[in-house]
């Protein structure tokens, strides 16, 4: 390539250079093959881990939860409401209203706060059951567990979400949720 004034002139390369380019590409594929194999093996084992960075990506994760949850299924949450809503108050308040209209079983373990106690007073309006965890915990993430995935949403910058689709991980987190739920009186 040659730049002359406002024009760019392209010059042809020797065709023999093509062979070296193909060799470089072949070496790069060989170098990255183990990474591709690990992704393939993860997929074939029935496990996925997806990573979403930024508020728009996190909001898409929550939209997918509403799309994928089925009637009468559990929607389990461990989290801190104030920071979660403050990520985007318009979106997350609307999200809660839309989620409340679904025929699902929403149970929430909330970090103790004034907002959590206020939410507890109106829990029936949002079609959920709330238990407030003992004081002294400071959560920096929220976790949502549905039958087909676990979502971990980091609330402090950088805002991100990890979506885990693995039956063993989902089952373990459901069981941990139940242990905590049963240990807190109504």
pLDDT at 39: 55
Q: What global pTM score does this model have?
A: 0.74
**pLDDT for residue 45 is more than 60:** no
Mean pLDDT, residues 52-78 taken together: 95
- Give domain status of residue 56, yes or no: yes
The count of structural domains within the chain is 2
**pLDDT for residue 28 is more than 70:** yes
Measure the CA–CA gap between 115 and 158, rounded to whole angstroms. Answer: 23
The SS3 assignment for 115 reads helix
- Same domain as 55, residue 41: no
User: What band does 2 get if pLDDT is binned at 50, 70 and 90?
Assistant: low
Q: Nearest 5°: phi and psi at 72?
A: 75, 5
The CATH number of the domain holding residue 160 is: 3.30.870.10
pLDDT at 162: 95
């Amino acid at each position: 390539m040659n730049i002359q004034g406002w024009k760019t002139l392209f010059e042809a390369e020797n065709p023999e250079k093509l062979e070296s380019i193909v060799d470089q590409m072949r070496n790069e594929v060989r170098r990255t093959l183990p990474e591709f194999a690990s992704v393939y093996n993860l997929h074939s084992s029935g496990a996925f881990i997806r990573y979403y960075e930024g508020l728009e990506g996190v909001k898409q994760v929550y939209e997918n939860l509403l799309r994928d949850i089925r009637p009468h299924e559990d929607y389990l949450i461990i989290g801190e409401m104030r920071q979660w809503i403050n990520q985007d108050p318009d979106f997350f308040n609307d999200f809660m209203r839309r989620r409340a209209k679904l025929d699902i079983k929403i149970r929430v373990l909330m970090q103790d706060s004034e907002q959590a106690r206020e939410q507890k007073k109106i829990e029936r309006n949002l079609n959920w059951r709330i238990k407030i965890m003992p004081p002294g915990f400071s959560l920096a993430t929220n976790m949502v567990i549905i039958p087909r995935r676990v979502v971990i949403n980091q609330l402090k910058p950088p805002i991100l979400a990890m979506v885990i689709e693995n039956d063993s991980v989902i089952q373990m987190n459901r069981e941990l949720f139940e242990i905590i739920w049963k240990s807190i009186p109504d």
